[in-house]
């Protein structure tokens, strides 16, 4: 993950300079080829090298695929399209680990790795079926360090980073806290959260396409996430995690696809790669910083203080929207 975070701004610039489709195909192939080395050279140094190569490939895969998806989604249906993309991606991340673990238990870890490599090559081949609609500028600006970060994407990306900060803490500490307080089954929490998320994302995205004020969905979505934090902090009933999962699912599902849409709506297509890279980098940083920071708070105080403190970044985002520092509302033509 560290390699992917560091290199992602570079992959955004490369995606804009050389096109989404060729970068996506090459990066998926690199990811798969690096995976080939894991069962062939099972030693610590080669594994670290191959995982580093996979980090490079994964960084470009996510950036190029996200940007290519933005290219092919019709203008008036971007919110809905981003919702479907996020839901399908969520479905794959839910199914793939279970399938890989099943294969590993039945046929061995090496065969499980081979299966993942084959699926990666299949994924690379399907990219050829997608038309490249992005027209590269004939004279693309030369590389500049300042061009790695797209400033117009920073504001919405910080909202996404704040959500991932809280999410990282929830994923890490809810299973431990649930057993201690007897507030529900963590497995039920993640199942309910995932199911609601898959349904809400495209619906919220479609609704945002129909109105001129995307903030009318973003702000309530963030408030629902804050509400889930409050419920988790002060409620001791066995059904607590179900309510928290429902609030989290609705809130996260309302905000995420719209943030992804806002990132590309605020700039020309020849900078969409950099904009998506900026958003993804900040999201990864939020996800990475959440568990250690909130874990420190939980260790030195308690879980209730940790949960309430985790909501501060979200409340700050809401405040900046309400006072007009960041306006996530855009009139659609």
Chain segment 191-213, per-residue pLDDT in tens: 888 889 888 998 988 888 888 67
Enumerate domains of the chain plus CATH numbers.
2-129 (1.20.1250.20), 149-323 (1.20.1250.20)
Is the model's pLDDT at 328 over the cut of 70? no
Residue 46 has a pLDDT of 79
Rounded Cα distance between 68 and 25, Å, is: 11
Residue 227 has a pLDDT of 93
- pTM of this prediction? 0.84
Is the model's pLDDT at 333 over the cut of 50? no
Residue 222 has a pLDDT of 93
What is the percentage of the chain residues whose pLDDT exceeds 70? 94
Is the model's pLDDT at 178 over the cut of 90? no
Residue 331 has a pLDDT of 39
Is the model's pLDDT at 132 over the cut of 90? no
Residue 79 has a pLDDT of 85
State the pLDDT confidence band at 332, using cuts at 50, 70 and 90: very low
State the pLDDT confidence band at 282, using cuts at 50, 70 and 90: very high
Is the model's pLDDT at 140 over the cut of 80? no
């Amino acid at each position: 993950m560290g390699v992917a975070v560091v290199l992602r701004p570079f992959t955004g610039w490369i995606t804009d300079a050389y096109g989404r489709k060729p970068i996506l195909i090459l990066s998926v192939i690199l990811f798969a080829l690096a995976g080939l080395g894991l069962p062939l050279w099972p030693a610590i140094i080669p594994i670290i090298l191959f995982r580093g190569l996979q980090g490079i490939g994964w960084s470009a895969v996510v950036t190029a695929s996200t940007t290519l998806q933005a290219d092919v989604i019709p203008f008036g249906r971007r919110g809905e399209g981003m919702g479907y993309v996020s839901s399908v991606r969520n479905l794959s991340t839910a199914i793939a680990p279970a399938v890989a673990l099943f294969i590993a238990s039945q046929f061995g870890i090496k065969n499980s790795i081979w299966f993942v490599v084959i699926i990666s090559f299949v994924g690379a081949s399907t990219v050829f079926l997608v038309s490249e609609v992005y027209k590269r500028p004939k004279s693309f600006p030369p590389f500049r360090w300042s061009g790695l970060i797209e400033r117009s994407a920073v504001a919405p990306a910080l909202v996404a980073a704040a959500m991932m900060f809280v999410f990282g803490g929830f994923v890490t500490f809810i299973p431990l806290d649930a057993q201690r307080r007897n507030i529900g089954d963590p497995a039920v929490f993640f199942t309910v959260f995932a199911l609601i998320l898959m349904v809400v994302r495209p619906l919220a995205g479609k609704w945002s396409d129909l109105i001129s004020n995307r903030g009318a969905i973003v702000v309530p979505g963030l408030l629902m996430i804050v509400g889930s934090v409050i419920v988790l902090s002060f409620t001791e009933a066995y059904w607590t995690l179900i309510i928290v999962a429902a609030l989290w699912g609705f809130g996260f599902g309302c905000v995420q696809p719209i943030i992804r849409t806002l990132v590309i709506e605020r700039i020309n297509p020849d900078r969409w790669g950099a904009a998506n890279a900026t958003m993804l980098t900040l999201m990864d940083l939020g996800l990475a910083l959440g568990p250690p920071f909130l874990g420190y708070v939980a260790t030195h105080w308690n879980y209730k203080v940790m949960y309430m403190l985790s909501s501060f970044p979200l409340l700050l985002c809401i405040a900046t929207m309400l006072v007009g520092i960041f306006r996530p509302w855009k009139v659609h033509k």
